[in-house]
Amino acid sequence: MILIKGYFLSYISESHYKKLFESAHIPMFLVYNNVIVEANEASVEIFKVNTKSDLYKVHPSQISPEYQPDGRKSQEKANELIKECSEIGFIQFEWVHQNLREEEFIVEVTLKTVTIDGKEMLFTAFRDIQKEKEYKKSLEEQNLRLENKNKYFTEINSILNTNHEWEELIDKIFLLEEFRKALDESSIVSKTDKKGIITYVNDNFCKISGYKKEELIGQSHNIIRHPNTKKEFFKNLWQTVLKKKTFKGVIENRNKDGESYFVDTTIVPILDKNDEIVEFIGIRNDLTPVFEKDKLIYEQFTDDLTSLPNRQRLLDDIKKFVKPKLAIINIDRFKDINDSYGFEIGDEILKELSKRLKKYRSTNLKVYRLSGDIFAFLAFGNLEEEELLKTCDSFIYNLDFQKYKINDYEFDISYCVGISAESGNKLLTQAEVALQWAKQTHKDIVVFDENMPIYKELKENIALTKDIKRAIETDNILIYGQKIVSNKSDDFKYEVLMRLRQEDGTIVSPFKFLNHAKKARLYPQMTKIVIDKACNYFKDKDVTFSINLMIEDIKDRRIIDYLIEKLKETNTANRVILEIVESEGIERFDEVGDFIKEVQALGCKVAIDDFGTGYSNFEYIIKLNVDILKIDGSLIKNIHVNDNLKLTVSTIVNFAKVLNIETVAEFIHNKEVDEIVKSLGINYSQGFYYHEPEFLI
């Protein structure tokens, strides 16, 4: 590999040749390993780049449209031509290039193998042949017109010199009329005089424009002109047809109702026997459906507010570009601006930022808006990670990027950036992780590193989500049971506990996977599995059992309907306790209260699980009319060494007795705790001291 360090003309040692190369008026560059390693100033001009370095390490196809006129992909064809030149030493061909403004132009390319510093390279020079092509085409059209005219007169003379000249002439005229009818049926046709005044329109013209014939005859085509079509376009049109050339182009017109339509237009000058223009005929085909489709595609890949490419376009470009590197840019505390000044002001800031970021666009750096206040730089080709980092540095610490004045408001705005240059299909994810880490660590710029704690956590979460999905699909969501024993008799019941069996046989408790299941929207499926297995397991057993439900379950009508259906199907409603896990939202009395009434009507009992944690409130317990309070293990496990805990538990128990609510103490782990719990008059005990959870099904 050759290291390019930005030294201009590093491959041309002699000053004389350097000067010739540099001052040449035709674009030239050197290609090594299929990428440009040196260029002259004429190349900078024709490709509209800022400096020569913008072209370094760029593959020729990156400064070309995706496809060449023959339909072949530019990258594929360029590689083939480079290989051919390397084999035979010299080659010339025509090529369509594209500058930074996405303007296409045709050139004649000369490729020649050269050896510089012992390395075989390709010397490339090209010249713009666009005008030559147009001139050649003009001559061909004039010759064709002369040939057609001579052919026409020869044919007429031959007809008139035969015995059946009139019959044949009539046949020819009839055939010409048939051609005219076919054209009228299939195309949008109009005729104008030499000044452009309409003298004829067919029915298709009237149909697409919305005007009647009498409204069009005698008018100029300005009647359907759309303001989007610039004066320069029509100036070029008239210059072409007045030179007796055929004009071809796509025109956006406006119908009578003011709606746009697009037509592929051919305007032909009609000449008399003296080769003078008599009139013009315009033949058009409706392209509106095609343009509407293109518009939909454009909208699909373009952000409405800023007109920048959007997230979907970024994903496509990451796959398409060579050696992509990504920087994701986020405005700090942008939500505060929206909340304080309104979305209109926020939108103006986003539009202004997009204009400022566009200044960094080049042949190998593109700008995107991903969502909200999140933008991105995608660098590719010769632009290395270090240069992308410098680019981000240059605007983050640029006062022009920090100061905004919108209407009468002034803002000082800061940014944070996440960068990734890792190969593979995780570029966007890795840059997003780097951005999140920048936010968490309060850094301006973070470059992705696989050893980031946040990335390790992300990978673990992804792996766990896969485990949950696999467990659901392979019947590895299990139910375990732990006995809840009476403190006054030999009576006991079971609490049903969810467990997950991993692929290696490891049994995992909900503590590890429940939050991930909720985020992945897999939790409702798991709840249904537990309900189904519990009801079917206990339906033929004379044992009371409890099922845990969370607020999310109670709010999901589909879960509740499924629960009620299973209770009725297995006839277990009068033996089930539904434990509602105390959490934020349980105080929403109407929603939870309605559920409790519904299931109690079926014969179920209702318990509040983990009572005594941060959401505890005696008032809502009174309103909810529950049957059982399960006192949280955090209050029980140290009750034998902490008198304050003992006092708190005693208060809960006395409160429950007044309301005739049974109590259960969780986390009984030794004899001392067990004796205190019994002395306080708690009805039931649960914990490893009595019974470790056992596999049920």
Contact at 8 Å (CB) between 205 and 216? yes
**CB atoms inside a 10 Å sphere around CB 344:** 10
Residue 694 pLDDT class (50, 70, 90 cuts): very high
Query: Is the model more confident about 610 or about 535?
Result: 535
Contact at 8 Å (CB) between 435 and 446? yes
In this predicted model, what pLDDT tens digit does every residue of 399-435 receive, in sequence order?
Answer: 777 888 888 888 989 999 999 987 767 899 889 989 9
The rounded distance, in Å, linking the Cα atoms of 676 and 648 is: 13
In this predicted model, what pLDDT tens digit does every residue of 182-219 receive, in sequence order?
Answer: 666 778 888 899 888 999 988 889 999 999 999 999 99
DSSP state of 276: -
Residue 661 Cα distances to 378, 390, 549, 624, 686, angstroms = 64, 68, 19, 12, 17
Q: Taking 90 as the threshold, does the pLDDT of residue 166 lie above it?
A: no
The rounded distance, in Å, linking the Cα atoms of 344 and 407 is: 11
φ and ψ of 484, to 5 deg:
-115, 110
Six-digit token string for 326: 């990504």
Residue 30 Cα distances to 8, 33, 78, 603, angstroms = 12, 10, 14, 86
Residue 517 pLDDT class (50, 70, 90 cuts): confident
The rounded distance, in Å, linking the Cα atoms of 548 and 637 is: 21
Contact at 8 Å (CB) between 693 and 496? no
Q: Taking 50 as the threshold, does the pLDDT of residue 172 lie above it?
A: yes
φ and ψ of 362, to 5 deg:
-150, -170
Q: Taking residues 95-104, report their average pLDDT.
A: 85
Among 358, 324, 306, residue whose Cα is nearest residue 428: 324
The rounded distance, in Å, linking the Cα atoms of 616 and 586 is: 9
Query: Is the model more confident about 498 or about 170?
Result: 498
Q: What is the pLDDT of residue 685?
A: 95
Q: In the chain, what percentage of residues exceed pLDDT 70? A: 89
Question: CA torsion, points 655, 660, 666, 669, in degrees to nearest 10?
Answer: 90
Strands (E), 401-516: 403-406, 409-412, 415-420, 445-447, 477-486, 492-501, 507-508
The rounded distance, in Å, linking the Cα atoms of 420 and 683 is: 59
The rounded distance, in Å, linking the Cα atoms of 289 and 614 is: 61
Q: Taking residues 226-242, report their average pLDDT.
A: 87
Q: What is the pLDDT of residue 653?
A: 94
Six-digit token string for 163: 């015995």
Q: Taking residues 158-177, report their average pLDDT.
A: 56
The CATH topology of domain 461-695 is TIM Barrel (3.20.20)
Where would I find the H helices in 115-164?
130-160
Please give the CATH architecture assigned to the domain spanning 302-449.
Answer: 2-Layer Sandwich (3.30)
DSSP state of 121: E
Helix (H, G, I), strand (E, B) or coil at 509: coil
CA 555 to chain centre: 32
Residue 603 Cα distances to 339, 441, 562, 577, angstroms = 49, 54, 16, 9
pTM of the predicted model as reported, rounded to 2 decimal places: 0.51
Average pLDDT of the chain is: 85
Q: What is the pLDDT of residue 9?
A: 47
Where would I find the H helices in 15-164?
15-23, 41-47, 74-88, 130-160
- CATH class for the domain made up of 133-292: alpha beta
The region that residue 398 occupies, defined by phi over 0 for left and psi between -120 and 50 for alpha, beta otherwise, is beta
Q: What is the pLDDT of residue 270?
A: 86
Where would I find the H helices in 304-451?
311-320, 334-341, 343-358, 385-396, 399-402, 427-441
Query: Is the model more confident about 401 or about 311?
Result: 311
Query: Is the model more confident about 399 or about 304?
Result: 304
Residue 2 pLDDT class (50, 70, 90 cuts): very low
The rounded distance, in Å, linking the Cα atoms of 334 and 345 is: 11
Buried/exposed 153-183: b ≥16 CB within 10 Å, e otherwise: eeeeeebeeeeeeeeeeeeeeeeeeeeeeee
Helix (H, G, I), strand (E, B) or coil at 239: helix
Contacts of residue 203, defined as CB under 8 A and 6 or more positions apart, other chains included, come to 184
Q: Which CATH code is given to the segment(s) 15-128? A: 3.30.450.20
Query: Is the model more confident about 468 or about 21?
Result: 468
- The residue type of 277 is I
The rounded distance, in Å, linking the Cα atoms of 536 and 571 is: 10
**Which residues belong to CATH 3.20.20.450 in the chain?**
461-695
- The residue type of 489 is S
The rounded distance, in Å, linking the Cα atoms of 512 and 515 is: 8
Q: Taking residues 162-183, report their average pLDDT.
A: 58
Q: Taking 70 as the threshold, does the pLDDT of residue 173 lie above it?
A: no
Torsional sign, CA 362, 365, 370, 372: negative
CA 289 to chain centre: 25
- The residue type of 408 is D
**Which residues belong to CATH 3.30.450.20 in the chain?**
15-128, 133-292
Question: Residue 549, CB half-sphere, CA atoms under 13 Å: how many?
Answer: 29
Q: What is the pLDDT of residue 8?
A: 41
